[in-house]
Structure 1
């Protein structure tokens, strides 16, 4: 659940990670992961740390170079934030007065609490984490420990959560005294004094005497003094935790005024998302115009839009002098000896921490959105969708016609799409149909992960299921997973981080363990990558999406013996090439360049092995809207983009071409895939090993229930107009795909108004899109044939050279070139051979009627020629 921006602002600060030696490799022989990449991976979890007492982290960019009562309230709120961090196993360690901020209502907002965690407890940077005056004694005693060998797992002993309690105690002490501690001492003296406090019985009194504040201490209320003494307990074992202090008697009077923080239920959860819904007594308060609509949007949305509007973190930090670039010559040592030791150059200050926070101006974003009407922030969700942003104004309508890459970078357009999808997703699953409808236009990148989950039908308590899956016990596939992960989309900074590798490992193991009938095949890691990238902080959702995706598009692909599944899939794909592009199919078959040589990685990974993630996102945005046959159309579309080169090359050249696939225009590929999909009869891609669908579904060409047939032939429930099961060897022998009788009836648009009249065609379109070629002899044809079909007896249809015999029938056939042509006969072998002849002659969209005329006879749709007078 995203918190609204309201009156908060965006701020930024920077630091430099430690550099690694260039000539050192890890135990696996690969270059070491840069510390900056490690930090980037660990940072992602901080984006999920949302609490009223904590400043919220939004993004990280890897650059190329009072009164006692008020004090008690402040301490209590700070402890609330620390306790929440501790529950997420995060220690602040850099707690100081300038990291405790106050919002407009005077409540605590702790900042910079993630620096210690993302730097691996200080191991990945060249500066210490924390400020000497506020560090706990045990932290000072440990000193700064840097790993000597970056290839090893040696790391400094991390500070415990109780170190933050000491730091808070020092801050509260300073607030009570009205002055800073140890101000007159240098750093070494400060550290010495703190370490010597271990010999003191009453640390609070001694510190007060040292700073001349004894009278102030005596005047403090007993509960404040008790709190100070508990926080400033020297030995960590005796010092209470933040959780202990929250229930301490020191806060007995103020703790009832604070409601416990409950994180809102997530979109995919068993908890009610409306459980904490609160409506004011005066409903009109909800309708008042606050003037700043952007302030009601979440900080993640605002930051995303800020970037689209031209915001650049690195430029902002450079303009404020936080990042200072130096000419390369200035970074060289003054003197370099033969053994490599250098002298003369002072320490580069750029590698040290500058914790200045730069406020990022939202003026440019507000300027960009000034003309966006207030209604755009609150779209109504009607079933007719007459007021959706993409069609609600001329401006948005014109934007939606632009290329996708431009739409994704248009600030106003993305604001409209984000607001709309945010509302639709909050209403999921009740608004699932509208999500599908809007996803056909485009999907906003910011909400792509949740939208994909909705399109895949993910529901229920996914976190509980994921947590209950054993991801720790060693399994036989662990070794292969460990080998595959460091090679999977490692150009991406997030997935190449150690945190990314660990998440990869857990999600993949969860899938393997929870699907005991399937096995891990190389390529599963590539399938996991898009889901993990989009749901980096929600492994359960990444796992749930992958678990829903595989049975829909890759059913039984991960069986231990998947050869029969793969072979059937490739055979159907080969038939799809012949169906849509016979010239290309003829050439590839002549040179022996069959799909087995190049297409297995395509379909086994749904193209994630051959395309980078940014292309996969756009490809899958459309793939998820299609059924299991849509990948065939994508494959054909890719081949057609390479068509000119493929037709001009032989076998060896084609092998080289696919070993390093040329650049593919994904937007064009998606557009052509949709066109191919619309021209492909549903049953043409039928596969025996596809997922069994519920009765009434036709997404894979399966038979529908008799109730779904036209009423004219519902009287017999024994009629089966779907595809029949055939052997793989028979399927491989056929160049063209088969279609079911049901598909033929739909494509011919036939109907039977009454038994007194012959079958007629529906009047949907003036130009028929299909031609039925009946290859039986003329006698059989005259006894009964499909309305609108032509008769071309198989034995006399072609000349000795394989050309069509001239005549009225061949002329009609020629006029239908480019439309769907169905070969129909008594014997499937003859129909398949006739179709293969047409493919050889370059006829596209040729298919065979499965079951031949025997399937059509029970329907009562056959007709006979009218008697000539």
Structure 2
């Protein structure tokens, strides 16, 4: 890459023909060998770990034909912890490379297999052994030009932002003052972010200040990765770090599925993935579902204290959607990732995995046995509601409405079942800007503001009406302005109560 000085900043110049450092998933040769021998998979009554259509776990079929069934699988060694939010991944590289390796001589019992009657989709022998992506007639419709540069270094996207032309009005023949002002405001805001992101050493604190009020769509993928500490703030280390982390994930996938699967974990993931965001076309595509399966299973294997918990499947989708948007010009919510070149979908998947891991590291108490983190948050929400809106709290108590009955889902899924994915993404801009406590402490204030918003309606309802109302709130038509108002109210409550820590204890009243 060449560079030149421009207004005191380094301007990155795109070079044609730059190769990508992203690691791609390697196909196994098992299927090719079996095809040559005339092998065709046959469904039987034996319980098997089918995914949402077909998944990498089917590689176990070939081995089961020649090896006796074993009741044990190797335990995965967790040599290091990835809870460190510092961006210096290189410091622990020597320990990283074997983090996903199996520990020899320490078998553990395989989890019970799911019932044969469990609902699964039929296996299709026509599919590729590792169907990460597919192409329809070789088309890459919607793919951004020079996507390979963004794959290698997300900073290259900063030079590929196109501002829409101001539309002309057929009535007056020129753009209105409001349209011009809107476009100018957008350009000004993007330029503020670019000045921070183009630095050779990004000031993450300055980025947080900008991100609190929302991140422009074009800059969100890179900004999120920086805010979570996945992408190094030092520009010189980005390319090598990204390539290594993506390669490590690819190796981890092969190891996780190559050493046997935990049937109970896999079965639950296989049930939940097809149910994830069913109202969005993106999540109905095979390529999307395969990626989500792998992300969730590898995460569960790497975190045995919690394993997979329903709700985590929701939390990965904002990352997948945002990082996919970095490479396409089309509507991401209806785009088929199977149209992408394999290297692109591979890096979207890997980046989603690592950022999901960063998020969950901060709220893992929500997903370990008995979910104590959620229990504490529900108790704190009750106490906080009593302080903010005592009449609402009294009415809920009079109607025998327990906070756990409606707010458990708010904590477990971070309100993703209550607002659209687009609005969730906007909320997460602010959560990440809040720092390490954004998804825990600040989320509590958001839930309090969310509940109090419906206070007047709730206080006219009885138990059954309250429960029905809170399970189906009229928020799916919310706009970004509605979400920003909610975040502002949450910030107000946080400012008032943050230093009054009594409301954060588990209340016994």
TM-score class normalised by the smaller sequence = 0.5 to 0.7
CA drift at 1:53: 6.4
Give the number of the structure with larger relative contact order, counting CA–CA contacts within 8 Å between residues 6 or more apart. 2
How large is the Cα RMSD of the aligned pairs? 4.1
CA drift at 1:265: 8.1
What is the distance in 1 between the residues matched to 2:450 and 2:413?
A: 15
TM-score normalised according to structure 1 size: 0.35
Deviation per CA, 1:25-44: give whole Å up to 9, x if none.
xxxxxxxxxxxxxxxxxxxx
Q: Which has the larger radius of gyration?
A: 1
What is the distance in 2 between the residues matched to 1:524 and 1:510?
A: 12
Deviation per CA, 1:827-855: give whole Å up to 9, x if none.
xxxxxxxxxxxxxxxxxxxxxxxxxxxxx
1:428–1:454 contact (8 Å) kept in structure 2? no
CA drift at 1:733: 2.2
What is the distance in 2 between the residues matched to 1:643 and 1:447?
A: 37
Superposition map of 1:616-655 within 5 A: 616-626=424-434, 627=437, 628-655=440-467
CA drift at 1:589: 1.2
1:267–1:426 contact (8 Å) kept in structure 2? no
Please name the residue that 2:214 is paired with. 442
2:158–2:194 contact (8 Å) kept in structure 1? no
Deviation per CA, 1:486-533: give whole Å up to 9, x if none.
111122222221111111112112221222222211100011111111
> Whose helix fraction is larger, Structure 1's or Structure 2's?
2
1:519–1:560 contact (8 Å) kept in structure 2? no
CA drift at 1:152: 7.4
Deviation per CA, 1:58-103: give whole Å up to 9, x if none.
xxxxxxxxxxxxxxxxxxxxxx9xx99xx999xxxxxxxxxxxxxx
1:484 matched to 2:277? The reply is: no
What is the distance in 2 between the residues matched to 1:481 and 1:519?
A: 11
What is the distance in 2 between the residues matched to 1:265 and 1:499?
A: 18
Please name the residue that 2:399 is paired with. 591
Deviation per CA, 1:394-422: give whole Å up to 9, x if none.
x99x96xxxxxxxxxx4333333334323
1:413 matched to 2:163? The reply is: no
1:682 matched to 2:499? The reply is: yes
Structure 1 residues 428 and 601: CA distance shift in structure 2, 3 A: farther
2:297–2:308 contact (8 Å) kept in structure 1? no
Deviation per CA, 1:356-409: give whole Å up to 9, x if none.
xxxxxxxx9xx98xx9xxxxxxxxxxxxxxxxxxxxxxx99x96xxxxxxxxxx
Deviation per CA, 1:123-170: give whole Å up to 9, x if none.
xxxxxxxxxxxxxxxxxxxxxxxxxxx987465999xxxxxxxxxxxx
Task: Report the 3-state secondary structure (helix = DSSP H, G, I; strand = E; otherwise coil) of the residue aligned with 1:469.
Answer: helix
CA drift at 1:585: 0.9
What is the distance in 1 between the residues matched to 2:388 and 2:229?
A: 31
Superposition map of 1:338-737 within 5 A: 410-427=182-199, 430-459=202-231, 461=241, 462-470=245-253, 471-473=256-258, 474-476=261-263, 477-536=265-324, 537=345, 538-552=348-362, 554-562=363-371, 564-626=372-434, 627=437, 628-663=440-475, 665-684=482-501, 731-734=506-509
Deviation per CA, 1:752-806: give whole Å up to 9, x if none.
xxxxxxxxxxxxxxxxxxxxxxxxxxxxxxxxxxxxxxxxxxxxxxxxxxxxxxx
Structure 1 residues 428 and 610: CA distance shift in structure 2, 3 A: farther
2:25–2:250 contact (8 Å) kept in structure 1? no
CA drift at 1:686: 7.3
Instruction: Extract unaligned runs of 5+ from structure 2.
Output: 4-13, 27-120, 130-147, 233-240, 325-344
2:204–2:226 contact (8 Å) kept in structure 1? yes
What is the distance in 2 between the residues matched to 1:475 and 1:267?
A: 36
Please name the residue that 1:842 is paired with. none
Structure 1 residues 156 and 571: CA distance shift in structure 2, 3 A: closer
2:208–2:432 contact (8 Å) kept in structure 1? no
Structure 1 residues 450 and 411: CA distance shift in structure 2, 3 A: same
What is the distance in 2 between the residues matched to 1:459 and 1:446?
A: 17
Structure 1 residues 534 and 683: CA distance shift in structure 2, 3 A: same
1:535–1:542 contact (8 Å) kept in structure 2? yes
CA drift at 1:427: 2.9
Task: Report the 3-state secondary structure (helix = DSSP H, G, I; strand = E; otherwise coil) of the residue aligned with 1:472.
Answer: helix
CA drift at 1:430: 3.3
Structure 1 residues 548 and 662: CA distance shift in structure 2, 3 A: same
What is the distance in 2 between the residues matched to 1:458 and 1:630?
A: 21
CA drift at 1:443: 1.0
Structure 1 residues 498 and 422: CA distance shift in structure 2, 3 A: farther
1:570–1:599 contact (8 Å) kept in structure 2? yes
Deviation per CA, 1:237-286: give whole Å up to 9, x if none.
xxxxxxxxxxxxxxxxxxxxxxxxx9688458xxxx99xxxxxxxxxxxx
CA drift at 1:654: 0.3
Deviation per CA, 1:294-321: give whole Å up to 9, x if none.
xx9744x22xx33x7569xxxxxxxxxx
CA drift at 1:635: 1.0
Structure 1 residues 592 and 615: CA distance shift in structure 2, 3 A: same
What is the distance in 2 between the residues matched to 1:443 and 1:157?
A: 38
1:429–1:454 contact (8 Å) kept in structure 2? no
What is the distance in 1 between the residues matched to 2:151 and 2:266?
A: 34
